[in-house]
Amino acid sequence: MTDSKNSKRLIIGLTGGIGSGKTAATDLFAAQGIDIVDADIVARQVVTPGAPALESIKAEFGDEYIDAEGHLNRAKLRALVFSDESAKQKLNAIMQPAIRTELLDQLNQAKSPYVILSAPLLLENGLESYCQRVLVVDVPEALQVQRATNRDSVNEEQIKSIISSQIDRPTRLTKADDVIDNSGSLSELKIQVNQLHKKYLTLADG
């Protein structure tokens, strides 16, 4: 348990595999007036030009990973860390502390009765320690692959590689306090989100 578990605000950690529909779920919570802290957005915010994390990346990996406008060349750095485990560890050592600091700042600034911390690697990176409950958005792997390939214009093998790099579905589900089955329609998703929203409001009042 971390300090966030002992704070008064109810923090819900939302996660799920690629193509599970995490964004659709968080959009529905946001429509209810709930603050969303998105780890993917934070990961981009901490490497904006002039940010300490970007300067550390430049010092560690070299100027060739920074473009002419001073932005991180994500594709080039992604290719490096995908093929070099040592580089991946060095990048994580720079990024994870910066991300965690910003996540905590945004969680502390949240004003809604409860807050959603959305992170695809919530469990892999230990971010569930900031949360009182874990909410998993779940779909079968075949549907993950179908949705992700349609959305991201990448091939099936790339999607399966990403899935294999994430925590497996059975383990993810065993970590869940709540589960959204997102294998159906948007209206079915909305019903489940509305039910959970009412539940979380009650828990937040408690």
Annotated binding-site residue? 20: yes
Annotated binding-site residue? 160: no
Annotated binding-site residue? 22: yes
Annotated binding-site residue? 23: yes
Distance CA 90, CA 100 (A): 16
Structure token digits, residue 83: 């093929």
User: Based on C-alpha coordinates, what's the Rg of the chain?
Assistant: 18
Annotated binding-site residue? 48: no
Distance CA 136, CA 169 (A): 10
Q: Which contacts qualify for 103-106: CB closer than 8 Å, 24 or more apart? A: 103/37, 103/39, 103/42, 103/127, 103/130, 104/4, 104/130, 106/37, 106/42
Binding residue positions: 19-24
List the binding residues for ATP.
19-24
